[in-house]
Structure 1
Amino acid sequence: MRIALGERASGGSARDQVYLALREAIISAELEPGRRLSENELAELLGVSRTPVREALVRLRDERLVAIVPQLGTFVTLISTEGVADAAFVREALECAAIRLAAQRAGEDALAELQANLAAQDRAQAAGDAEAFDGLDEALHRSLCELSGHEIAWDLSRRANGHLDRVRRLSLPEPGYLGEMVAEHRQVVAAVAAGDPDRAEEALRHHLRMVLSGLGHIRAAHPDFFEEPAD
């Protein structure tokens, strides 16, 4: 297991860096679902004391990414289909509202940045670089939320997205998935560039539901990562 305070976790307090590093390790399944977590081991891996690790685990518990069980320990949660559905509901509500405003407010500089992001996505797709693509995907959605003038929409969406992000990350290596994602991103950005809130919302809503449409396939491919379905 290799967990480090990497680029995505750089900056900010030690507490925030540890939280981001552990969250990324869970989302990417480097810390796989069901794994028992040791504060001492994680602190040693990250080169920090146990205090920021303990605080990070509490934050991750609040996001339903870890479970702290008295007398038993702390575990990475299994992926919950209910959690995925909840996250998708929250994300769709927040980001679709935000993109309507973004379509009305985006100026030339902002649109140029969105196009540059899409060009970088093309390069990542051509190289088969899922990790680079994932960072660009996140940056694009964040930029669209910020263009609305309500940056909190992204913060709230991200905090709710844990289980959904885990499924999305498992989907990235699937054949054709990156290409489909880039094509849908282009439709979203084109609608924003056209200043068409209705088309932008429709394109984004369709895009955000893409992960849910493949949930059954991902669950079948990784059955040990998921909770058993409720009777």
Structure 2
Amino acid sequence: MMRTPALPKAGPALRSAPPPVDAPVAAALHGFELDPSRSYTGQVHDLLRDAIVRGTLPPRTALSEATISKLIEVSRTPVREALAQLAEEQMVVIYRQVGTLVAPVRLSLLEEGRFVRSTLECASHVQLAQTITPEQLTEFGQIVQRQRDAVTSGAIDQFSQLDELMHRRLFEFAGRGHVWAMLEPIKRQFDRVRWLLLGHVAGHAERALKEHEQMLAQMASRDVAGLGASVSSHIDHITAHVAALREQAPATYFAD
């Protein structure tokens, strides 16, 4: 009787096999549920955009229409439309008859985002310092305290969300909420670097928190000159730390 040969035991090479190509996509989309009352294209766009900004879909990740539509149980049409929108926003690159990849962080677009944010935030916040109400200062202080708690507990995702909330509310305090909405697409590359810094460069959240505390104190004391300098320095620090980030993150993350 012929014996069936024994199967080989799983050795280190088998146990450490690389994950499937679509594993990052599956992880990034895990748990997402479509809202039937909202545009499917809009929901897919926001889902992919946020995953790219936060780095859960890293640069150069392949994005398959078929895979995405299967994972979130939607037809390929809204996925295709969402990817086309992201391509216009330079968040993905579509290679005809080849596929779609998450775009690298383009340093030229990062510089544009820094310039626009620095110009508009300095001007708006300096004017706000002259008109801010006690109630607005209280809310500003509460957001900074929540940021402090997030840093203490190591909740980096929460800190980044609170950072975004703080900057948006300062524009809204000044009656310029529409300016923040206008900034959103311009600062996407900037936001990608901010999330990467939080994950790769030690002490970035702590430094950002100290700068927010300084801005709060200057806003409360109506220190217009000091506030303008602090806001400019705060925004410029993002791009100043790109060199440190490039030493930590894969080289394929960046272009230009």
Tell whether the structures are fold-level matches, with TM greater than 0.5: yes
RMSD after superposition: 2.1
Q: State the number of aligned residues.
A: 226
Q: Cα deviations across residues 29-68 of structure 1 (Å, max 9, x unaligned)?
A: 2111112211222223333333332232222222211112
1:142-153 equivalence runs, <5 A:
142-153=168-179
CA contact 1:64–1:162 (8 Å) conserved in 2: no
1:83-162 equivalence runs, <5 A:
83-162=109-188
Q: Cα deviations across residues 73-101 of structure 1 (Å, max 9, x unaligned)?
A: 22111111112111111111222222123
| Cross-structure match for 1:202 | 229
Q: Which amino acid in structure 2 is aligned with residue 32 of structure 1? A: P
1:189 is aligned to 2:210: no
CA pair 95-14 structure 1, distance change in 2 beyond 3 A: farther
2:243 to 209, 216, 220: 216
Question: Which deviates more, 108-117 or 47-56?
Answer: 47-56
Question: Which deviates more, 16-25 or 193-202?
Answer: 193-202
Question: Which deviates more, 200-209 or 36-45?
Answer: 36-45
Q: Which amino acid in structure 1 is aligned with residue 242 of structure 2? A: L
Q: Distance in 2 between matches of 1:165 and 1:57?
A: 19
1:82 is aligned to 2:125: no
Q: Distance in 1 between matches of 2:31 and 2:220?
A: 36
Q: Which amino acid in structure 2 is aligned with residue 219 of structure 1? A: R
CA contact 2:32–2:72 (8 Å) conserved in 1: no
Larger radius of gyration: 2
CA pair 69-137 structure 1, distance change in 2 beyond 3 A: same
Question: Which deviates more, 128-137 or 149-158?
Answer: 149-158
Q: CA deviation at 1:180?
A: 0.7
Q: Distance in 1 between matches of 2:38 and 2:179?
A: 21
- Aligned to 1:74, the other structure's residue is in SS state strand
- Aligned to 2:74, the other structure's residue is in SS state coil
CA contact 1:5–1:18 (8 Å) conserved in 2: no
Q: Which amino acid in structure 1 is aligned with residue 127 of structure 2? A: L
CA pair 84-109 structure 1, distance change in 2 beyond 3 A: same
Q: Distance in 2 between matches of 1:105 and 1:147?
A: 9
CA contact 1:184–1:203 (8 Å) conserved in 2: yes
CA contact 1:79–1:225 (8 Å) conserved in 2: yes
Q: CA deviation at 1:213?
A: 1.1
- Aligned to 1:105, the other structure's residue is in SS state coil
Q: CA deviation at 1:5?
A: 7.2
CA pair 220-111 structure 1, distance change in 2 beyond 3 A: same
Q: Which amino acid in structure 2 is aligned with residue 84 of structure 1? A: L
Q: Cα deviations across residues 97-149 of structure 1 (Å, max 9, x unaligned)?
A: 22123212321221111111111111110111110101000000111111221
Identity value in percent: 32
CA pair 56-105 structure 1, distance change in 2 beyond 3 A: farther
| Cross-structure match for 1:177 | 204
- Aligned to 1:104, the other structure's residue is in SS state coil
Q: Distance in 1 between matches of 2:68 and 2:148?
A: 36
In the superposition, the TM-score normalised over structure 1's length comes to 0.89
Q: CA deviation at 1:6?
A: 6.2
Q: Distance in 1 between matches of 2:227 and 2:137?
A: 14
CA contact 1:67–1:77 (8 Å) conserved in 2: yes
Q: Unaligned stretches of 5+ in structure 2?
A: 1-25
Q: Unaligned stretches of 5+ in structure 1?
A: none
CA pair 196-50 structure 1, distance change in 2 beyond 3 A: farther
CA pair 125-50 structure 1, distance change in 2 beyond 3 A: same
Q: Which amino acid in structure 2 is aligned with residue 42 of structure 1? A: I
| Cross-structure match for 1:41 | 67
Q: Distance in 2 between matches of 1:153 and 1:5?
A: 33
